[in-house]
A and B are shown apart, each in its own frame.
Chain A
Amino acid sequence: MDYSDFTVEELLTDTSFLEYCLGNNEEAVLFWTVWIKDHPEKEQLVKEAEQLYLILNGQLRPQLRSGVQGLLMG
């Protein structure tokens, strides 16, 4: 699968993209951050997908994974 041909619908059905939006999988976050940097022409598409995702998930924004790590260390 070539991500450079992705549509908004495909992004929103891609598990790793949703993990990136939510910030709950650091590998996915890194992958998509790098990917977006490498594909500036896709910025608008990614933005639309992220915004639609926020509408659909009840406006939960990315949060730091270290949140629960801090909890465990406490």
Chain B
Amino acid sequence: MSGGPLIRLQQDILYHTVTGFLPFLKISRKMVLSRPNYYIWNMEKPIKVENLWQKLIMGDRDAFLHIYQEHYVGLMNYGSFYFKNRGTTNDAIVEMLLNLWDKRTTLPQVKNVRSYLISCLRFTILQNIKTEKWKDSKANSIINHLEGDQPSHEEQLTMLQSNDQLKRKLHKSFEKLSDRQKELLQLKFFENMGYEEIAASCNITKRTAYNIIHDAIKILRAELNDGQNNISMYDVTLLVTGFLSVWEIIKH
């Protein structure tokens, strides 16, 4: 990992509130409000993934930014499984992105950007472990995971930091969902996929994907907000810290 840009990135990556972010914006309120259509059901907006990738190869920084923004959550949640630490995962993602940018002119044509980036991230993580950059007691188990297949549900559970009450509550809520609903919630929120990609990978229409997710959220809300002795959803959020992810809970 090189020095300068990384340090700046780490400073930037310290979480900011959304309002703290506003002074940095160079667009006016008028500009936004003059384009209301952009915000209305932009699930219909086509995703020109191949176009973005092509632009990245040509050295387009905006395209690179878009790719980063589109895949950051998915990569973060993928990588976090191995490190159990957002900071380390972020370092790996940054390093992977730096490599990607350096090698942009020699990148292959890629159809599925997400899975290509995940392969790159796996490679970066493995390399760092093998060169002892991140040597620790967990290194071997990380290597085993990465060289094997995708993590099993049981493995995901081992990183669960448990709060029993919260765990029961979330688990109970998710039991009300069908497998399909859980699958789509995971694709949409944990992997941060667009409706278009979800529709394609599940072989359903975008409208169906939207409806399934809408109904699943409705059921979840009803469950989470239900009951007198149960913790409210707001309490749930306070209790959920670090890597206690709902996906680790429901896969139990």
Contacts and interface: CB of A to CB of B under 8 A. Distances in A.
Interface of A: 1, 3, 8-10, 12-16, 20, 22-34, 47-48, 51-74
A61 B214 contact: no
Contacts of B33: 31, 34
Contacts of B21: 23, 26, 29, 62, 64-65
9 contacts: A8-B221, A16-B38, A26-B25, A31-B39, A56-B185, A58-B76, A59-B241, A60-B76, A62-B16
Contacts of A33: 18-19, 22
What class of interface size applies to chain B in its complex with A? 35 or more
Contacts of B189: 53, 56-57
Given A58-B190, A63-B12, A72-B61, 17 more contacts: A1-B41, A12-B213, A16-B42, A26-B27, A29-B25, A51-B234, A54-B237, A56-B189, A57-B73, A57-B77, A58-B243, A60-B73, A62-B21, A66-B24, A67-B12, A70-B12, A74-B4
Main secondary structure of the interface of A (DSSP, over half): helix
A16 B221 CA distance: 21
Contact of B214 (A10, A54, A63): A10
Contacts of A15: 42-43, 45, 194-195
B131 to A, nearest CB: 21
B240 to A, nearest CB: 6
Interface in B75-98: 76-77, 80, 94, 97-98
A32 B32 CA distance: 10
Contacts of B32: 27, 30-31, 34
B72 interface: yes
Contact of A48 (B69, B98, B192, B233): B233
B148 to A, nearest CB: 22
B104 to A, nearest CB: 11
Contacts of A61: 15
